[in-house]
Amino acid sequence: MPNGREATASEYRRGEQRGFSYIGLLLMIAIAGVGLAAVGMRWHHQLRAEKEKQLLFVGHQYRAAIASYQAANPSGVNMYPASLDDLLLDKRYPNIKRHLRKRYDDPITGSAEWGLIRQRGRIIGIYSLSTERPIKQAGFASDDRGFKGASRYSQWVFGQELLEPEEAPTPGVGATRR
């Protein structure tokens, strides 16, 4: 001891225990960090699942709007829209006809841009431009049965299956994906 006397047994034991509180505090911080990381990962998963549900809803809205546009043909000729704006205001009619209330953003990417499936210059379907892997892999409605096992959201195509097999576009011939 600095004052020249020897330390008693109780003073000596207290000196050995000084670092224990610090180690306990570090251990508690590490446990809290792991817990917060687990909560963050779960929250991120729930957020993605919610965005995925929104994508299915929005995709169904576009699919129904494309079908409505195609079915509402004043000239009797089956036509698909040339642009997504045609779904908002159908100019084939003298009065206002809307097949879609508003343009929806892609919930996965947050962008207003969609991939478009075209045949003969007309839109027959849309898809997300996201390359993320979908959470949902099975249990789809019958209209979405083609989504089963998809490795990317961009494989979820919301469109019409009204084409006859001989008219079905082949990649690079009459159909474009952009």
Strand order in the sheet with 122-127: 157-159, 122-127, 115-119, 174-177, 170-171
Task: Give the H/E segment covering residue 33.
Answer: helix 20-71
Q: Residue ranges per domain, the chain?
A: 51-177
How does pLDDT run across 59-102, given as a tens digit for each residue? 999 999 999 999 888 777 778 999 999 999 988 888 888 999 99
Share of the chain above pLDDT 90, in %: 46
Question: Which residues does 79 contact at the CB level (< 8 Å), separation at least 6?
Answer: 69, 70, 73, 92, 122
Is pTM, for the whole model, over 0.75?
A: no
**Contact criterion met (CB below 8 Å) for 7 and 1:** yes
